[in-house]
């Protein structure tokens, strides 16, 4: 996928935005799906992770993680088929105020094919494979 200057700028700005977010706890979801991988299988894995997330002790963190997992899974299912270069999906509550929700989700098709598959729940988004 060849990118024009505007698309490249938009991608760089989105990556910078993602890098600047910091979660209070490990509640940001990063999912990298490589080219050729079954996106529905990844969505199912994300759905399965919701069961594990119910064990999180903190009510706020548990709610934020489960909501982010639901957003990521929904976004993967919307995409439906893995794009030519794969896809990176990021989801989480990016609010600066504890207890206030600003749940966001991003889906990015990288300019070069992704070679690795990754699922991570962390305090930061994984923007470098």
Residue 127 lies in a domain: no
Q: Which of 3-7, 55-59, 105-109, 119-123 has the lowest mean pLDDT?
A: 3-7
Whether 63 is covered by a domain: the verdict is: yes
> By residue range, what is the domain housing residue 57?
5-122
Q: What percent of the chain has pLDDT over 90?
A: 73
Q: Does any domain span residue 57?
A: yes
- DSSP label of 19: H
Total domain count for the chain? Answer: 1
Indicate the pTM of the whole model. 0.92
In this predicted model, what pLDDT tens digit does every residue of 38-81 receive, in sequence order?
Answer: 999 999 999 999 999 999 999 999 999 999 999 999 999 999 99
Residue 86 falls within a domain, yes or no?
yes
Q: Is the pLDDT of residue 24 over 90?
A: no
DSSP category for residue 96: S
Does residue 129 sit within a domain? no
Of 75, 55, 74, nearest to 65 by C-alpha is: 55
The CATH number of whichever domain residue 23 belongs to comes to 3.30.960.10
Q: Which token pair is 65?
A: 């993680």
Residue 118 domain-assigned?
A: yes
pLDDT, mean of residues 7-33: 91
């Amino acid at each position: 996928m060849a990118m024009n200057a505007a698309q490249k700028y938009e991608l760089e700005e989105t990556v910078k935005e993602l890098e600047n977010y910091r979660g209070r706890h490990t509640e940001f979801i990063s999912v990298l799906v490589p080219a050729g991988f079954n996106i529905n299988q990844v969505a199912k894995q994300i759905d399965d992770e919701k069961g594990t997330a119910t064990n999180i002790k903190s009510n706020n963190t548990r709610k934020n993680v489960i909501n982010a997992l639901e957003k990521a899974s929904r976004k993967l299912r919307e995409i439906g088929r893995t794009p030519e270069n794969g896809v990176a999906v990021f989801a989480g509550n990016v609010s600066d105020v504890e207890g206030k929700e600003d749940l966001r989700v991003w889906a990015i098709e990288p300019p070069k094919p992704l070679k690795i598959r990754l699922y991570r729940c962390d305090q930061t988004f994984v923007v470098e494979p």
